[in-house]
């Protein structure tokens, strides 16, 4: 009898031991606050990620940082100290991701950010050894816009962007490339996401008479300057950034956005990609799963960044499992090494080839130019 | 900068200023009557606009659930309080407004398909949904604390604001909406295009202000509100219920907020959290009026609107900085101009 109890006790211990060997993925998203339109699809996508990787059960713990930097840091600390996560995915926006880098590096936990700025994976910062990201760099997108402008003989361009890190970052990248390619920026304006009027900025742009206008905003607020410019009779070309790539933007902007050009990840026009493109299959798979869960037309490119983080983990975790058990420092180190070693991994936004110098790993296949036609996204070229 | 640009900027400033003026009036009203600094004022702007947008999209507006839920809680509270004091006979009015009315509105939304109604009726329905939230919020959040200090009431306001913003995200999602304009007319005045919606905003604001002027000057209810604002104890001695005055001021504040939202929804995209920043600018204007004077607050609102539109032309990156910095010289001037009085506590 005693023996049985001891055996049961040992079995129970083993059960606990096995439970500890589960892989724990901490996720920080901005599901409320100003970045909610990006964070909500990411949160919805996490629910679609596989429950087992490499034969091990995966637990996802999702925390909301309310688009607030302090909360993001608190969240990642909680995930690491209380939940003992093996890897952190997040956060949605650049300021939060930058703040989380210190905690990730100090605790030696790999982190996969879903925010856009190239600074998050700046190879000059030694802490970035632990940090990876899935969205394209702004510079890749800016190059595509400048190319497209030059191809259609645009010589002068006006810039209007959010008066925050997003608009500022875009202006820096865009002005650098525009300067190099002899494209003249004749106006540089800012507005707030919550502004109810951009009349002042629009009048200044009109007075400068640019051939094209680039609007650097994210989500539906990016429609405001375009609608105001159209209303005041501006007839030039419009460029938007990939921050607007969701259906709500088309709904709010309506016919004022016809003909607008923007660079975006291929997942936005997945169905229109040629069958020979390997990205098409992965992107269609994501679109199908997301729309099955959230309804038709609900998919956006933002959620796809979370999906791509999931794909990176599905490729890296089996490699790391060969070296160490989840829940240990050795596993986190092995996972980091595996992430850095990923080669030719097709994700919904492109093809990833990581290296010690490049923790994003995208090439030109990660962006396409898209035009708004009849209230839908249309692949150009 | 030529004359035409100046005129366009001026027009833009006056339209925004008219909305800020309405909100400033509501803030002054609520503060004068109940001593509440009503931070959630802006939420009614967003709720009004987004409720109308939901009705037009044929969706069930999320505010309906909020009205049903809050009214049910208010009804329970009223019944418990009345039963404790043996005043069950006086319950009829409370039950009518908190049970029969919300159910009637819900019935209209589910049965009558308001999506196909004319715009004017949709606006009335949206107002009918959002306005009852004002008195309900007062009954639940502020009435039990009516005699607390201004600071406690301010903290309650912050809590109510955060709750309503969170509920707004839940009901309407993170993306914004626009509604069609009240009129597509466009006029050319001296080379400056003026849209019909602009005239609607300015006209409706002016009409509402004149209406409020007569309400406070001529009607018994308006005089009761003014009496409460001037001296609470004195008003009670004269048989004015300060509780009723508080509810009425919140009803007016909710109505003004929701109407402002409906007026600007065709001009700009409204998000679940847009109301806060609009409300803050109304607050700056109300501060210019010392939270006491209606005409000075309205003038301050126009000043805020003009300052905003001209600074967005000259220095768009610093627009908000310039607008909110206005509050510092105003406060300095007010503190120098008025004799310092110890706080009431």
Residue A149 pLDDT > 50, yes or no? yes
Q: Which residue in chain A is spatially nearest to B314 when comparing CA positions?
A: A200
Provide the 8-state DSSP code for A95.
H
Averaged pLDDT score across all residues of chain B: 87
In this complex, which of A200, A246, A252 lies closest to B313 when CB atoms are compared?
A: A200
pLDDT bin (cut points 50, 70, 90) of residue A16 is very low
Question: Is the pLDDT confidence value at A17 over 80?
Answer: no
**Opening angle at CA B131, ends B126 and B132, nearest 5:** 115
- pLDDT per position as a tens digit, A208-219: 999 999 999 888
Buried b (16+ CB within 10 A) or exposed e, B6-44: eebbbbbbbbbbbbbbbbbbbbbbbbbbbbbbbbbbbbb
CB contact under 8 A, A163 and B317: yes
Residues in chain B with CB shorter than 8 Å from the CB of A192 are 277, 319-320
CB-CB: which of A195, A200, A219 is closest to B175? Answer: A219
Which pLDDT score, from 0 to 100, does residue B110 have? 86
A220 to chain B, minimum CA–CA distance in Å?
Answer: 6
Q: What is the reported pLDDT for A238?
A: 94
The per-residue pLDDT for range A299-355, each reduced to its tens digit, is 888 999 999 999 999 999 999 999 999 989 999 999 999 999 999 999 999 999 999
Q: Which of B174, B178, B317 sits opposite A37 (nearest CB)?
A: B174
Chain B contact residues (CB < 8 Å to A): 5, 8-9, 12, 15-16, 19, 166, 169, 173-178, 264, 267-269, 271, 273-274, 276-278, 308-314, 316-317, 319-320
Put simply, the answer to whether B269 touches A220 (Cβ < 8 Å) is yes
- Residue B228's pLDDT is what? 87
Segment B81-91 mean pLDDT = 78
What is the model's pTM? Answer: 0.79
| B163: confidence class by pLDDT, cuts 50, 70, 90 | very high
Interface A:B, Cβ pairs < 8 A: 96
What is the pLDDT at residue B345? 43
Give the mean pLDDT of A6-22.
53
Residue of chain A minimizing CA distance to B186 = A231
Helix (H) or strand (E) holding A61: strand A56-64
Confidence of residue B1 (pLDDT cuts 50, 70, 90): low
Q: Tens digits of per-residue pLDDT, B66-80?
A: 999 999 999 898 888
Q: What's the CA gap between B23 and B261, in Å, rounded?
A: 10
A179-198 pLDDT per residue, tens:
999 999 999 999 988 788 88
What are the distances in angstroms from CA A190 to CA A146, A170, A195, A202?
A: 20, 12, 11, 10
Sign of the alpha-carbon dihedral angle for B289, B295, B297, B300: negative
CB contact under 8 A, B320 and A191: no
| pLDDT greater at residue B339 or residue A32 | A32
Look at A200 and B176 and tell me if their CB atoms are within 8 Å.
no
- Residue pair B51/B130 in contact (Cβ under 8 Å)? The answer is yes
Q: Is the pLDDT reported for residue A10 higher than 60?
A: no
Q: H or E stretch including A151?
A: helix A138-151
B113: region left, alpha or beta (phi > 0 left; psi from -120 to 50 alpha)? left
Q: Per residue in B192-230, pLDDT tens?
A: 778 888 888 999 999 999 998 899 888 988 888 888 888
Q: How far is Cα B82 from Cα B76, in angstroms, rounded to an integer?
A: 10
Strand partners, A133: A113
B168, B46 in Cβ contact below 8 A?
Answer: yes
Residue A44 pLDDT exceeds 60: yes
Report the alpha-carbon distance of residue A276 to residue A352 in Å, rounded: 17
Confidence of residue B87 (pLDDT cuts 50, 70, 90): confident
Residues pairing with B177 in the sheet: B270
Of A39, A190, A246, which is closest to B316 when you measure between CB atoms? A190
Predicted pLDDT at A18: 44
SS3 A373: strand
3 state SS for chain B:
CCHHHHHHHHHHHHHHHHHHHHHHHHHHHHHHHHCCCCCCHHHHHHHHHHHHHHHHCCCCCCHHHHHHHHHHHHHHHHHHHHHHHCCHHHHHHHHHHHHHHHHHHHHHHHHCCHHHCCHHHHHHHHHHHHCCHHHHHHHHHHHHHCCCCHHHHHHHHHHHHHHHHHHHHHHHCCCCECCCCCCCCEEEECCEEEEHHHHHHHHHHHHHHHHHHHHHHHCHHHHHHHHHHHCHHHHHHCCCCHHHHHHHHHHHHHHHHHHHHHHHCCCCCECCCHHHHHHHHHHHHHHHCCCCCHHHHHHHHHHHHHHHHHHHHHCHHHHHHHHHHCHHHHHHHHHHHCCCCCCCC
A246 contacts B175? CB cut-off 8 A: yes
The answer to whether the Cβ–Cβ distance between B169 and A246 falls below 8 Å is no
Mean pLDDT, residues B143-162 taken together: 91
- pLDDT tens-digit series, residues A250-261: 888 888 889 999
Calpha distance B81→B245 (Å, rounded) = 19
CA distances from A137 to A105, A144, A360, A363 (A): 22, 12, 8, 10
* Pairwise CA distance, residues B168 & B49, whole Å: 12
pLDDT at A124 exceeding the cut of 60: yes
What would the pLDDT profile of B21-48 be if each residue is shown by its tens digit? 999 999 999 998 888 999 999 999 999 9
Chain A residues in contact with B311 (beta carbon < 8 A): 200
Q: Which residues of A touch B (CB under 8 A)?
A: 32, 34, 36-37, 39-40, 163, 189-192, 194-201, 203-204, 207, 219-221, 223-224, 246, 248, 251-252
Chain A residues with beta carbon closer than 8 angstroms to that of B166: 32
Q: Which residue in chain B has the smallest CA separation from A232?
A: B193
- B268 → chain A, closest CA residue: A196
Q: List pLDDT tens digits, range B220-271.
A: 888 888 888 888 888 889 888 888 889 999 999 999 999 999 999 988 888 8
Q: Which secondary structure element, helix H or strand E, spans residue A45, and what is its range?
A: helix A36-46
Is the CB of A196 less than 8 angstroms away from the CB of B313? no
User: Would the ipTM clear 0.90, i.e. be above it?
Assistant: no
CA atoms of A340 and B186, how far apart (whole Å):
60
Contact A286, A25 (CB under 8 A): no
Residue A19 confidence (pLDDT) above 50: no
How far is B308 from B49, CA to CA, in rounded Å? 22
Instruction: Please give, rounded to a whole number of angstroms, the shortest distance from the CA of B330 to a CA of chain A.
Output: 23
CB contacts of B314 in chain A (<8 Å) are 200
**A337 Cβ contact partners less than 8 Å away, ≥ 6 residues apart:** A320
């Amino acid at each position: 009898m005693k023996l049985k109890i001891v055996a049961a006790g040992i079995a129970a211990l083993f059960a606990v031991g096995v439970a500890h060997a589960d892989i724990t993925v901490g996720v920080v998203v901005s599901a409320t606050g100003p970045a909610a339109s990006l964070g909500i699809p990411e949160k919805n996508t996490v629910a679609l990620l596989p429950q087992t990787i490499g034969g091990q059960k995966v637990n996802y713990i999702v925390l909301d940082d309310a688009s607030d930097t302090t909360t993001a840091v608190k969240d990642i600390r909680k995930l690491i100290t209380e939940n003992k996560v093996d890897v952190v995915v997040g956060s949605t926006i650049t300021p939060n991701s930058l703040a989380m880098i210190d905690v990730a590096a100090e605790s030696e936990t790999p982190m996969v950010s879903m925010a856009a700025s190239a600074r998050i994976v700046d190879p000059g910062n030694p802490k970035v050894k632990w940090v990876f990201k899935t969205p394209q760099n702004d510079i890749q997108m800016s190059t595509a816009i400048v190319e497209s402008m030059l191809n259609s003989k645009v010589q002068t361009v006006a810039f209007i962007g959010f008066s925050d890190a997003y608009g500022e970052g875009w202006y820096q990248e865009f002005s650098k490339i525009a300067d190099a390619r002899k494209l003249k920026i004749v106006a540089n304006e800012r507005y707030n996401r919550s502004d109810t009027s951009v009349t002042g900025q629009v009048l200044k742009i009109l007075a400068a008479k640019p051939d094209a206008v680039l609007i650097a905003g994210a989500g539906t607020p990016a429609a405001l300057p375009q609608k105001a410019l159209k209303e005041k009779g501006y007839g030039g070309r419009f460029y938007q950034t990939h921050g607007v790539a969701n259906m709500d933007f088309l709904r709010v902007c309506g016919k004022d956005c016809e003909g607008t050009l923007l660079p975006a990840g291929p997942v936005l026009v997945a169905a229109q990609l040629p069958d020979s493109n390997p990205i098409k299959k992965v992107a269609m798979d994501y679109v199908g799963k997301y729309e099955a869960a959230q309804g038709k037309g609900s998919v956006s490119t933002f959620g796809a960044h979370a999906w791509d983080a999931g794909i990176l983990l599905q490729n890296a975790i089996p490699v790391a499992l060969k070296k160490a058990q989840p829940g240990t420092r050795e596993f986190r180190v092995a996972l980091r090494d595996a992430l850095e070693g990923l080669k030719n991994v097709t994700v919904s936004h492109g093809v990833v080839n990581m290296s010690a110098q490049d923790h994003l790993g995208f090439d030109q296949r990660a962006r396409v130019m898209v035009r708004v036609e009849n209230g839908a996204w249309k692949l150009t070229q | 900068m030529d004359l035409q640009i100046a005129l366009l900027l001026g027009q833009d400033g006056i339209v925004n200023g008219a909305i800020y003026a309405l909100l400033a009036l509501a803030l002054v009203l609520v503060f004068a009557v109940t001593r509440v600094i009503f931070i959630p004022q802006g939420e009614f702007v967003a709720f009004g606009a987004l409720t109308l947008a939901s009705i037009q999209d044929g969706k069930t507006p999320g505010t309906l659930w909020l009205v049903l839920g809050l009214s049910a809680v208010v009804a329970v509270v009223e019944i418990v309080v009345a039963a404790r004091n043996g005043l069950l006979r006086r319950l009829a009015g409370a039950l009518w407004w908190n049970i029969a009315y919300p159910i009637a509105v819900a019935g209209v939304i589910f049965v009558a398909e308001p999506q196909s109604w004319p715009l004017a009726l949709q606006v009335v329905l949206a107002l009918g949904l959002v306005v009852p939230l004002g008195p309900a919020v007062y009954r639940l959040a502020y009435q039990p604390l009516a005699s607390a200090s201004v600071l406690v009431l301010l903290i309650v306001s912050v809590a109510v604001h955060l709750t309503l913003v969170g509920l707004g995200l839940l009901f309407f999602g993170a993306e914004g909406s626009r509604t069609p304009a009240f009129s597509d007319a466009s006029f050319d005045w001296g080379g400056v295009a003026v849209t019909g919606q602009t005239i609607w905003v300015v006209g409706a604001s002016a009409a509402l202000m004149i209406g409020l002027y007569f309400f406070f000057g001529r009607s018994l209810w308006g005089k009761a509100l003014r009496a409460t604002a001037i001296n609470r104890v004195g008003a009670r001695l004269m048989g004015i219920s300060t509780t009723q005055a508080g509810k009425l001021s919140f009803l007016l504040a909710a109505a003004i907020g929701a109407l402002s939202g409906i007026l600007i929804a065709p001009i700009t995209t409204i998000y679940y959290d847009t109301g806060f920043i609009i409300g803050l600018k109304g607050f700056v204007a109300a501060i210019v009026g010392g939270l006491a004077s209606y005409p000075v607050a309205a003038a301050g609102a126009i000043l805020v609107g003009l300052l905003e539109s001209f600074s967005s032309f000259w220095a768009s990156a610093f627009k908000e900085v310039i607008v909110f910095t206005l509050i510092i010289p105003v406060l300095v001037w007010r503190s120098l101009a008025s004799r310092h009085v110890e706080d009431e506590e």
